[in-house]
Amino acid sequence: MTNSSLNEAVEVGGASPNDATMATASPRQFLKAFARVGGLMATIVLVVAVFAVASNGLIMVPDNLLGLLRYMSTIAIVGLGLTFVLIVGEIDLSFANLYGLSAMSMAVAWLDWGWPLWLAILLALAIGVAVGAFNAFFTSVVGIPSFIATLGSSTLIFGFNLLISGAQRFAPASPPAGKNVSLGEVSFFRGLSNQHLPFGIPMQVLWMILIAGIFWVVLNRSLFGFRLRAIGGNAVAARFARIPVRRYKFWAFCIAGLAAAVAGLLDFAFIGSIQPDAGQALLFPTFAAVVIGGASLQGGRGSVVGTLLGALLLAVIANGLALLAAGSFAQQMFLGVVTIGAVVLDQVTRSWRRDQ
C-alpha cells in the first residue's frame, strides 16, 4: 500500500489521515470541525427558542422533550447507518422501507408463524443485513448506480412487505385469530424500548447512545473507518493503495441495513404495533439530518456527532410544527425545503473546501 495514494484518497474527501488514525488533528481541521458542530448547536438553540416563544413554552415541557428525544433516536439510529454509505460515496434509498420490512417480518414470524421471539428478532436483523448485501452487490459488482439500485430495491421491499403482511397491521396485544403468544415474550419485547431510564428518559435513547458510541469508535478509532473515508474521498486512489473497495462498500451497505432493522424493531417494541407502510416517512428527514450533520453526497465526509445533531435539529423542527398545529401539508413542504437546503449546503461547502 502506498502512503501517497492513501493520503490523496482521504484528503480529497475532506479528512486527513490523522483524523482517521487518531493522531492529533491540525488546528485548521479542528477549527473546521468545531465550526460545523458549533453552528449546528447554535441553530438548534435558536430553533428551540423560536418554537418556545411561538408555542408559549410547550416545547420545553418535560414530557414533550422526552417524546422529542425518542423521535430523534429513530432518525439518529437509521441516519448513523446511512452515514457509512454516504462516506463511501454511495446513496441508499431503501432504508425507509427496510425499516418496515424488518419489523413486519419479525411480527409475522413471531405472531403468525409461531416462531420463538429470539429467532424472529434474528430473522429481522438478518433481513437488514441481507438487503444491505443485495444493494452492495448490484452497486459494486453489477455496476448499477446506487441511486437506481436502492430505489429499485426499496420498491421490491415494500411489495414484499405487503405480500407477507397481507396489508394487515400486527400487534402483540392482538395476535392473529387462533394464535397464542407468550405474555413473557410480549413483556420482554416491549421492554426493549418501552421502559424508562431515570428522569423518564426513553429506553430508545440509551440504544441510540450505545449504537452511536460503537459507530464513533469504528469511524474514528479503526482502520476500517479510515479506509471508508479514503474510498469515499477518491476510490481510484484507494484502489491504487490496494484497498478492497468492493468489500468496504459491501460492509457499509450491510451496516446501513442492520441499523434500519434495529430502528424498526425498537419502534415496533415501543409503539406496540407495526403496519406495512411503517418507516416511509423517515426517508427525507433522515437524509436531511445526515447531510445537515456534515456528510457529503460526494463521499469522504460524515461524522457520528454531526448525524446526531442533525437528527436532533430535525426532531425539534418536527415537534415544534406539531405543537403549532401546522397541517401535514405545511410539515411536508417545510421538510422539502429543509432537504433541498441540506443538499445546497453540501454543494456550497464542497465548493468552498475545493477552493481553499
105-123 pLDDT per residue, tens: 999 999 999 999 999 999 9
* Res 1: pLDDT: 46
User: C-alpha grid cell for residue 26?
Assistant: 491540525
What are the residue ranges spanned by the domains of the chain? 3-355
Mean pLDDT within 91-97: 95
66-85 pLDDT per residue, tens: 999 999 999 999 999 999 99
* Res 70: pLDDT: 93
* Res 352: pLDDT: 64
Burial class (CB in 10 A: 0-12, 13-18, 19+), 351: exposed
List CB contacts of 295: < 8 A, sequence separation 6 or more.
82, 83, 86, 87, 301, 302, 303, 306, 307, 346
Mean pLDDT within 195-215: 91
Q: Is the pLDDT of residue 314 over 70?
A: yes
- State the pLDDT confidence band at 327, using cuts at 50, 70 and 90: confident
Question: Which span out of 17-21, 180-184, 262-266 was modeled with the highest average pLDDT?
Answer: 262-266
Q: Which of 18-27, 301-310, 320-329 has the lowest mean pLDDT?
A: 18-27
Closest CA to 87 of 280, 306, 261: 306
Cβ–Cβ < 8 Å for 175, 168:
no
State the first-to-last Cα distance of the chain, in angstroms, to the nearest integer: 28
* Res 76: pLDDT: 97
Q: Is the pLDDT of residue 18 over 60?
A: no
Q: What percent of the chain has pLDDT over 90?
A: 60
Cβ–Cβ < 8 Å for 298, 33:
no
One-character DSSP codes across 100-111: HHHHHHHHIIII
Determine the 3-state secondary structure of 296 from DSSP. coil
Burial letters 173-189, b for 16+ CB under 10 A, else e: eebeeeeebeeeebeeb
Q: Is the pLDDT of residue 230 over 90?
A: yes
List CB contacts of 29: < 8 A, sequence separation 6 or more.
16, 18, 19
Q: Is the pLDDT of residue 353 over 70?
A: no
Between residues 342 and 33, the one the model is more confident about: 342
* Res 284: pLDDT: 87
Between residues 39 and 241, the one the model is more confident about: 241
* Res 20: pLDDT: 41
243-291 pLDDT per residue, tens: 999 999 999 999 999 999 999 999 999 999 999 999 888 998 999 899 8
Q: Is the pLDDT of residue 33 over 70?
A: no
List CB contacts of 167: < 8 A, sequence separation 6 or more.
276
Name the CA dihedral angle for 84, 335, 94, 171, rounded to a multiple of 10 degrees: 110
- State the pLDDT confidence band at 28, using cuts at 50, 70 and 90: low
- State the pLDDT confidence band at 15, using cuts at 50, 70 and 90: very low
* Res 341: pLDDT: 74
Question: Residue 26 forms beta bridges with which residues?
Answer: none
- State the pLDDT confidence band at 328, using cuts at 50, 70 and 90: confident
User: C-alpha grid cell for residue 211?
Assistant: 449504537
Determine the 3-state secondary structure of 304 from DSSP. helix
- State the pLDDT confidence band at 332, using cuts at 50, 70 and 90: confident
Q: Is the pLDDT of residue 5 over 50?
A: no
Long-range contacts, stretch 33-41, CB < 8 angstroms, 24+ apart = 33/303, 36/294, 36/306, 37/305, 37/306, 37/309, 40/292, 40/293, 40/306, 40/309, 40/310, 40/313, 41/309
Q: What percent of the chain has pLDDT over 70?
A: 86
Q: Which of 1-15, 158-172, 220-234 has the lowest mean pLDDT?
A: 1-15
Mean model confidence pLDDT for the chain: 86
Give the C-alpha separation, 190 to 172, whole Å.
9
* Res 304: pLDDT: 95
For domain 3-355, is the CATH number 3.30.379?
A: no
One-character DSSP codes across 47-111: HHHHHHHHTTTGGGSHHHHHHHHHHHHHHHHHHHHHHHHHHTT-----HHHHHHHHHHHHHIIII
Q: Tell me how crowded residue 101 is: count the other CB atoms within 10 A of its CB.
A: 31
Global pTM value: 0.88
User: C-alpha grid cell for residue 268?
Assistant: 415496533
* Res 305: pLDDT: 94
Question: Residue 196 forms beta bridges with which residues?
Answer: 202
